[in-house]
């Protein structure tokens, strides 16, 4: 029956998103709520950026309806929701709502990155308060159990890190939503295999609305297109953080480290996570504020090789799928430290190849990146 519930949650989320998203597009065009292009952005025409408004309501409605049906069908859900899991989901909803609201404000009128950062830290702090925090590294760098005074701040850092990574990678059509779909798909499979049904339902509800948005973001014609916006990216980042953190916590009834599930699940986000480190380092080395945007993300670099936007999106999604598959296979043979080493070597090698492709393209076109892309206004 749980497989039916998971599938039903996904279909209900798709149905609700199919109803809600076109209404958001209609209101956005009627009220002229557009993301206006500037020197930093890739798109050339104004596009609504309120697609993320649909995410949290659709996820909550789908999850609550299916959970209610499970109660009526006398499924054994009462022990689950009377346990610590209920407390975690209460704090999850509170933290997601905070980020959702600040994201909506940013999409409508603009919010300072300092204010968003404070709200992100506050929302991230809810998860340790709910009892969900990193208490074991599963042998990563030779470390296993860690005390609360290290694990709780590390949890807050990781949540803020993942949330910002999803937000920052949202630079071209289909990229953030596509990477999120890959992550959620793997999480559904893993949660199902290990019997974490409630988390599988949450991932299914999220996947349903994101995959519907992906269609409107990538395949819609002019006049039907929309962007995710901060309301969407912050919501997705927080939910992914919640689901992935579950695989970094050793409990009496739950050992996610036997199959290196901690590394397998977080490998779905290695592209945005590692890209944030590279971009921040580049900004600091150049003497710029690391929190102010530029055009130095990996999708910008691939565009400078001469690729089209759609090709860049597909390339990065394929790279993400490769990392997920490789880490899943490697989890049976090597430990977490060597898995991380493999990922870092692959990431650095990829950038060497990309840099050479950029140089080759610049020689062919005579167009220098540093003259065209570095000195742009930082308006966001």
Binding residues: 167, 230
Task: Please give the radius of gyration of the chain, using alpha carbons only, rounded to the nearest integer.
Answer: 21
Helices (H) and strands (E) in the chain, counts: 15, 2
SS3 221: coil
Q: What are phi and psi of 333, to 5 degrees?
A: -120, -30
C-beta neighbour count of 277 within 10 angstroms = 12
Give kind and range of the element (H or E) at residue 34.
strand 34-35
CA–CA gap between residue 135 and residue 251 (Å, rounded):
9
Question: 87 near 131, Cβ under 8 Å?
Answer: yes
Question: 201 near 9, Cβ under 8 Å?
Answer: yes
C-beta neighbour count of 237 within 10 angstroms = 30
DSSP class of residue 46 equals: -
The string of DSSP letters for 323-346 reads HHHHHHHHTTTS-HHHHHHHHHHH
Question: 227 near 177, Cβ under 8 Å?
Answer: no
Residue ranges for the binding site for Mg(2+)?
A: 167, 230
Q: What are phi and psi of 251, to 5 degrees?
A: -135, 170
The sign of the CA dihedral 246, 251, 253, 257 is: positive
CA–CA gap between residue 73 and residue 10 (Å, rounded):
19
């Amino acid at each position: 029956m749980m497989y039916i519930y998971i599938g039903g949650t996904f279909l209900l989320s798709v149905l609700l998103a199919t109803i809600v998203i076109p209404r958001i597009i209609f209101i956005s065009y009627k009220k002229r709520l557009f993301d206006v292009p500037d020197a930093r952005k890739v798109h050339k025409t104004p596009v609504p950026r309120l697609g993320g408004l649909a995410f949290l309501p659709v996820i909550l409605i789908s999850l609550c309806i299916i959970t209610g049906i499970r109660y009526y069908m006398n499924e054994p859900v009462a022990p689950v929701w009377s346990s610590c899991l209920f407390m975690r989901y209460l704090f999850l909803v509170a933290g997601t709502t905070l980020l959702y609201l600040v994201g909506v404000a940013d999409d409508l009128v603009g919010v300072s990155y300092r204010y968003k950062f404070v709200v992100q830290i506050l929302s991230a702090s809810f998860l340790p308060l709910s009892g969900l925090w990193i208490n074991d590294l599963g042998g990563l760098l030779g470390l296993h159990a860690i005390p609360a005074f290290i694990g709780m701040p590390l949890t807050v850092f990781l949540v803020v890190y993942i949330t910002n990574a999803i937000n920052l990678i949202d630079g071209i059509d289909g990229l953030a939503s596509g990477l999120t779909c890959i992550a959620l798909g793997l999480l559904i499979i893993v949660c199902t295999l290990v019997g974490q049904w409630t988390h599988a339902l949450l991932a299914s509800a999220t996947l349903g609305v994101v995959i519907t948005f992906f269609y409107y973001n990538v395949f819609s014609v002019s006049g039907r297109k929309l962007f995710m916006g901060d309301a969407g990216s912050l919501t997705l980042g927080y939910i992914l953080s919640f689901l992935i953190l579950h695989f970094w916590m050793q409990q009496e009834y739950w050992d996610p480290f036997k199959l290196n599930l901690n590394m397998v699940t977080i490998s779905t986000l290695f592209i945005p996570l590692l890209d944030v480190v590279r971009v921040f380092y580049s900004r600091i080395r150049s003497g710029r504020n690391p929190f102010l945007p530029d055009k130095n993300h990996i999708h910008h670099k691939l565009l400078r090789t001469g690729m089209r936007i759609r090709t860049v999106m597909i390339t990065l999604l394929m790279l993400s799928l490769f990392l997920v598959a490789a880490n899943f296979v490697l989890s049976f043979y090597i430990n977490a430290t060597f898995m991380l080493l493999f990922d870092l070597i692959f990431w650095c090698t990829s950038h060497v190849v990309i840099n050479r492709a950029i140089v080759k393209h610049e020689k062919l076109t005579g167009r220098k990146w540093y003259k065209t892309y570095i000195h742009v206004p930082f308006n966001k």
